[in-house]
Amino acid sequence: MTRMATTLSKKKSDVCEVKFVNETQVKLVQKQMIDEEIAFHLAETFKILSDPTRVRVLFALSKAELCVCDLSQLLKMQDPAISHHLRLLRALNLVKYRKEGRMAYYSLDDDHIETLFGQGLEHVKENWVAEKEDR
């Protein structure tokens, strides 16, 4: 056996070694399973969050209500680029805006967005710190 084959055979398998379906668990989850349309919309939400700039915009808006000019200066980007990201975030109801005179102020759409973002950030920080310590 080669050295590579030996190494691979010693690793734990991350799949079942036998076929056994726990019907009780499957039925329990099946009753609660989300439908395809909901799954699609949730995937779209996560997809829109896959852009680091949009993540930074959401982070900023989790701290304060800001206008496009504020976000542009904060993120060192042009107004049209910030507007583009905000338009995408608005399309999925992740952010909202309110007009005050000629100014448009953006904020997170609701508490769900803040919770989703906060938990995601906490998860990443915990794992990133753990990975950093393992190095």
Stretch 93-120: mean pLDDT: 94
Strands (E), 1-135: 66-67, 95-100, 103-108
How high is the pLDDT of residue 5?
44
Selected residue with higher pLDDT from 81 and 13 = 81
125 with 119: CB under 8 angstroms?
no
Selected residue with higher pLDDT from 91 and 133 = 91
Q: Which of 97, 113, 12, 16 lies closest to 58 in space, CA to CA?
A: 113
| pLDDT beyond 80 at 129 | no
Mean pLDDT of the chain: 89
| pLDDT beyond 90 at 41 | yes
Selected residue with higher pLDDT from 124 and 12 = 124
Alpha-carbon distance of 18 to 21, in angstroms, equals 10
Give 51-89 pLDDT, tens digit per residue: 999 999 999 999 999 999 999 999 999 999 999 999 999
Strand pairing partners for 93? none
What is the number of other CB atoms lying within 10 angstroms of the CB of residue 71?
22
Domain ranges of the chain: 36-126
Stretch 18-38: mean pLDDT: 94
Please state which CATH class domain 36-126 belongs to.
mainly alpha
